[in-house]
A and B are shown apart, each in its own frame.
Chain A
Amino acid sequence: MPSRAVQLEAQPPGPALNGNRRTLEGILTILLFILAIGGWKAYVVFKGVPEYLLPPPERVLDSLVELIVSGEVFKHLFVTLSEVIVGFVIGSIGGILAGYLLGRWRLVEEIFSPYILFAQTAPKIALIPLFVIWFGLGLTSKVVLIVSMTFFPVMVNTILGLRSIDTNVRNLLRILKATAWQRFISVELFASLPLIFAGLRLGMVQAVIGAIVAEWVSGKTGLGYLLVLGNMTYNSGLLIAAILLTTLLGIVTYMAVMAVENRVLYWHESKAKIGGQDV
């Protein structure tokens, strides 16, 4: 067979090129943002859009500044964030524990599976009125909703994580005569972490959605309440400001989970290699 040189993969760009490219990308991203805001402003001015439909961008900025200067925003952020954190922590711990119970004993899973399917697929948001009747208008009803929304993705992923342990790892543990506790503490716990974290990320997104929707329905404070307030008073500047704050909260909480994941799963293939060695 005649030999021939084949370029299989594009050469990775060198460090200098990489740096330049990153700067360029940054500039373009900012440019795009300015363009979008400019387009928004131009549309509102030239089309004469009434403010309650779409306020100009500076009105949104005004609302944001006002919220921050008056300190109002911190009250709302604090309420929503505490609901998210309390609900997420309880929901994930519950999800991990339930996942382990169900993942380890198939019998338990088989007994519970129809109920779990029911509870998992029922739109939890439909339960808010019931939670309000049971737990009142305060923090509890909202936390209960968030727990119910965080619990399932975490539990399902924990079960998957336990089930995905390599057969030969189990064989190794059998050969070494490892006890159930040793199997759990030295292998199962760690081996299921990548999937547990995938569940935690989903759970965090759900937790923020849960908090906003719960406040929307029954809140006196919180970002969800701000959304309703902006809506009811036709204060679209406030409404869009609240939407931005909600998105920000979503991003920050998600990044927090990612940051913990990167620390805990530093050993995982999905995380960057530290360096390569050959035989």
Chain B
Amino acid sequence: MGEVAISIRGVSKIFRSGAARKTVEALKDINLDIYREEFLSIIGPSGCGKSTLLSIIAGLTEPSEGEIILKGGSNNSRRPNIGFVFQDPVLLPWKTVLENARFPLDIIGDRSKESLDNLAGLLEVAGLKGFESALPKELSGGMKQRVSIVRALSYNPEVLLMDEPFGALDALTRDKLNQVLLDIWNERKKTVVFITHGIDEAVFLSDRVVVMTPRPGKIHDVIEIGLPRPRTREVRESPDFLRYTKVLRDLLG
């Protein structure tokens, strides 16, 4: 598969809930290598710690034990080398679509033509062309999430972390955005870590699917998805696709 982009080594996370002195073991001894330009999904029932794991990879949460090694990436300390897409779009309501998408570049202080052209290209791939000056409140949920994806990629990070980004959307919009995401991924070739509880979505998008089990959160199995790319509607309707979904469904029990 090639070069390792993210190495998760012996990561555990224990949450202490204040007064009762109860501890919850959210993650136990997670070991995983994520390859460069790989599309990896992590699937599991709620409470299996998948979002916590993503938060640890993003550096938003400290692990209780173990470490995350992010390899490569820019040496520029002001330019983050991960992009994060939350379950909610988390757009700034007073900014237009373009201003929201450009927000990271403004924070980094990157006004180069190269970056702005790259951003315009992303907006186009995401189907947001013509909506640049719209405000978030004028957009549907699906459109907002597209903006959020473009924003995460605006500064061209190596890694894209996505925390159930389409979980709050209806099935039709979700299918559409899966396709948009693959279009972007085909064009930009990022390392994607995608958290989901949708089996179809995980199979359709991924190179590999990590299945987690709860209490304590552990890696149960890792499934390679050998479906051909580009993933089209025919792929989604093929017997192999169904076979993979069945395997995952059985694993998730």
Given A174-B60, A278-B140, A186 contacting B107 (CB threshold 8 A): yes
Known: A175-B58, A178-B107, A273-B137. A267 touches B84 (CB 8 A): no
* A269: chain B residues within 8 A (beta carbon): 93, 137
User: Which residues 155-190 in A have Cβ within 8 Å of B in the complex?
Assistant: 166, 168-169, 171-178, 182, 186-187, 190
A interface, how many residues as a size bin? Answer: 20 to 34
Q: A174-B60, A175-B82, A178-B107 are in contact. Are A166 and B143 (CB under 8 A)?
A: no
Q: A175-B84, A186-B106, A277-B143 are in contact. Are A169 and B137 (CB under 8 A)?
A: no
The residue on A at minimum CB distance from B60 is A171
State which of A175, A191, A267, A277 has its C-beta within 8 Å of the C-beta of B60.
A175
A168→B90 contact, CB < 8 A: yes
Q: Is the CB of A274 within 8 A of B108?
A: no
List, in ascending order, chain B residues with CB within 8 A of A178's CB: 107
Report how many A-B pairs have Cβ atoms within 8 Å.
75
B24 sits at the interface (CB 8 A): no
- Nearest-neighbour CB distance to chain A for B57, whole angstroms, equals 11
Given contacts A277-B138, A279-B143, contact A176 B80 (CB under 8 A): yes
Which partner residue on chain B sits nearest A189 by CB separation?
B94
- Tell me if B84 and A171 are in contact (CB < 8 A): yes
* Residue contact B104 to A176, C-beta cutoff 8 Å: yes
* Shortest Cβ gap from A136 to chain B (Å): 44
B140 touches A277 (CB 8 A): yes
Contact: B86 with A168, CB < 8 Å? yes
Produce 1/0 per residue, A238-279, CB < 8 A to B.
Answer: 000000000000000000000000000001110001111111
Bound Cα distance A171, B104 (Å): 13
Please, which residues of chain A bring their CB within 8 A of the CB of B135?
267, 274
CB <8 Å contact, A190 and B84 = no
* Residues of chain A with a CB closer than 8 A to B90's CB: 166, 168-169, 172
Would you call A277 and B104 a contact (CB within 8 A)? no
Inter-chain CA distance A277–B86, complex, in Å, is 22
Contacting residues, chain A, for B106 (C-beta < 8 A): 186
Q: Does B62 contact A (CB under 8 A)?
A: no
The answer to whether A187 and B108 touch across the interface, beta carbons within 8 angstroms, is no
Task: Give, as a whole number of angstroms, the nearest-CB distance from A261 to chain B.
Answer: 13
Q: CA of A276 to CA of B60 in the docked complex: distance in angstroms? A: 35
User: In this assembly, does B74 line the interface, its C-beta being within 8 Å of a C-beta of chain A?
Assistant: no
List the A residue with the shortest CB-CB distance to B144.
A279
Assess the B92–A187 pair: CB atoms within 8 A: yes
User: Quick check: B139 and A277 within 8 Å, CB to CB?
Assistant: yes
Q: Is A267 in contact with B173, judged by CB distance below 8 angstroms? A: no
Chain A residue at minimum C-beta to C-beta distance from B177: A279
Q: How far is the CA of A190 from the CA of B92 in the complex (A)?
A: 9
1/0 contact string of A25-36 vs chain B (CB within 8 Å): 000000000000
- What would be 29 A-B contacts, judged by CB atoms less than 8 Å apart? A166-B90, A168-B86, A168-B88, A169-B90, A169-B92, A171-B60, A172-B90, A175-B80, A175-B84, A177-B78, A177-B107, A190-B94, A193-B94, A267-B94, A267-B137, A268-B93, A268-B94, A269-B93, A273-B137, A274-B135, A276-B138, A276-B140, A277-B131, A277-B134, A277-B143, A279-B142, A279-B143, A279-B173, A279-B176
State the A residues within 8 Å of B (CB).
166, 168-169, 171-178, 182, 186-187, 190-191, 193, 267-269, 273-279
- Contacts A175-B82, A267-B94 aside, 9 further interface pairs with beta carbons under 8 A come to A172-B84, A176-B103, A176-B104, A186-B103, A186-B106, A186-B107, A193-B94, A267-B135, A279-B176
